[in-house]
Each structure stands twice: as C-alpha cells, then as structure tokens.
Amino acid sequence: MNAGGIELAMRKRYDKEFKAKVALEALKGEKTLQELALTYSVHPNMIAL
C-alpha cells in the first residue's frame, strides 16, 4: 500500500509458452474466445484475433 492508502495491482506477465499455447488453440477455432478466456483465466480481449 502506498502513502495515499491506494493499493496498486501488479500487472500479470505471461511467458512465451503460455502465449503460444493460447494462440494455437484460438487459431484452431475449436473453442470460442469466451471459452478460451475462461479456460486460461484471461480476458477475451487478450486473445482476440
């Protein structure tokens, strides 16, 4: 917590392997973006094509 009493969230960073796995699944088209987002706990905008 900083001096103003506001707690800042840390930005989540994803490694190359995770990004590649999600991207390949998205390109396969077997699941919707919403399904992939739920599976990998990310926002659908993070994996939008």
pLDDT tens by residue, 1-49:
566 678 888 888 999 999 999 999 999 999 999 999 999 999 999 998 7
Residue 6: per-residue pLDDT? 82
Please tell me the number of Cα atoms within 13 Å of 42 on its side-chain side: 18
pTM higher than the cut 0.75: no
Q: Tally Cβ neighbours within 10 Å of residue 38.
A: 12
**DSSP state for residue 30 in the 8-state scheme:** S
Which pLDDT does position 29 carry in this prediction? 94
Locate tokens 């009493």: which residue?
5
